[in-house]
Structure 1
Amino acid sequence: MLRFVVRRLLQMVGVLLVLSLLVFVWLRSLPGGPVSALLGERQTEARREALEQALGLDQPLPVQYVRFMQRALQGDFGVSTQVLPGEDALDIFLSRLPATLELSFFALVIAVALGIPLGYVAARRKGTALDTTTVIFSLVGVAVPVFFTAFLLKYFFAVEWNLLPVSGRQSIGLDATRVTGLFVLDGILTREWDAAWDALKHLVLPSLALATIPFAVVFRITRASVLDVLDEDYVRTAEAKGLTARVIRGRHVLRNAMLPVVTTVGLQVGALLSGAVLTETVFSWRGVGQALAEGFLQKDYPVLQVLIMAAAAIYVLVNLLVDITYALIDPRIRTR
Structure 2
Amino acid sequence: MLRYTVRRLLQLVLVLVVLSLLLFLWLRSLPGGPVTAMLGDRSTPDKRAELTSVLGLDQPLMVQYGKFLGRVAHGNFGQSTGVAPGDSAIGVFADRFPATVELAIGALLFALVFGIPLGYLAARRRGGWLDNAGVVTSLLGVAVPVFFLAFLLKYIFAVKLGWLPPSGRQSPDIDATRVTGFFVLDGLLTREWDASWDAVKHLILPSIALGTIPFAVIFRITRSSVLDVQNEDFIRTAEAKGLTNRTIRSRHILRNALLPVVTVTGLQVGALLAGAVLTEKVFAFPGLGEALSIAFTKKDYPVLQVLILASATTFVLVNMLVDLSYAVIDPRIRTS
Bin the TM-score by the shorter chain. Answer: over 0.9
User: Structure 1 CA distance, aligned partners of 2:225 and 2:329?
Assistant: 15
User: What's the % identity of the aligned pairs?
Assistant: 67
Q: CA deviation at 1:301?
A: 0.2
User: Structure 2 CA distance, aligned partners of 1:10 and 1:241?
Assistant: 45
Task: Name structure 2 gaps, 5 residues minimum.
Answer: none
Runs of 4+ deviating beyond 4 Å: none
Q: 1:243 aligns to what? A: 243
Tell whether 2:53 aligns with 1:60. Answer: no
Q: CA deviation at 1:35?
A: 0.6
Q: CA deviation at 1:281?
A: 0.7
Q: CA deviation at 1:220?
A: 0.5
- In the TM superposition, what are the counterparts of 1:110-121 in structure 2 within 5 Å? 110-121=110-121
Tell whether 2:327 aligns with 1:327. Answer: yes
The letter for the 2-side match of 1:300 is D
The letter for the 2-side match of 1:333 is I
Q: CA deviation at 1:52?
A: 0.5
Q: 1:23 aligns to what? A: 23
- In the TM superposition, what are the counterparts of 1:47-126 in structure 2 within 5 Å? 47-126=47-126
Number of aligned residues:
336
User: Structure 2 CA distance, aligned partners of 1:148 and 1:11?
Assistant: 38
The letter for the 2-side match of 1:192 is E
Q: 1:264 aligns to what? A: 264
Task: Name structure 1 gaps, 5 residues minimum.
Answer: none
The letter for the 2-side match of 1:135 is V
Q: CA deviation at 1:202?
A: 0.7
Q: CA deviation at 1:173?
A: 2.4
Q: CA deviation at 1:242?
A: 2.4
User: Structure 2 CA distance, aligned partners of 1:18 and 1:114?
Assistant: 37
Q: CA deviation at 1:127?
A: 1.2
Tell whether 2:312 aligns with 1:294. Answer: no
The letter for the 1-side match of 2:17 is L
Q: 2:143 aligns to what? A: 143
User: Structure 1 CA distance, aligned partners of 2:286 and 2:142?
Assistant: 25
User: Structure 2 CA distance, aligned partners of 1:124 and 1:264?
Assistant: 21
Q: 2:317 aligns to what? A: 317
Q: CA deviation at 1:227?
A: 0.7
Q: 2:198 aligns to what? A: 198
The letter for the 1-side match of 2:58 is D
User: Structure 1 CA distance, aligned partners of 2:172 and 2:25?
Assistant: 41
Q: 2:39 aligns to what? A: 39
Q: CA deviation at 1:241?
A: 2.4
C-alpha RMSD over aligned residues: 0.8
- 1:123-153 per-residue CA deviation (whole Å, 9 max, x = no partner) reads 1111112111100100100111111110000
User: Structure 1 CA distance, aligned partners of 2:17 and 2:53?
Assistant: 26
User: Structure 2 CA distance, aligned partners of 1:179 and 1:50?
Assistant: 43
SS in 2 for 1:312: helix
User: Structure 1 CA distance, aligned partners of 2:249 and 2:9?
Assistant: 35
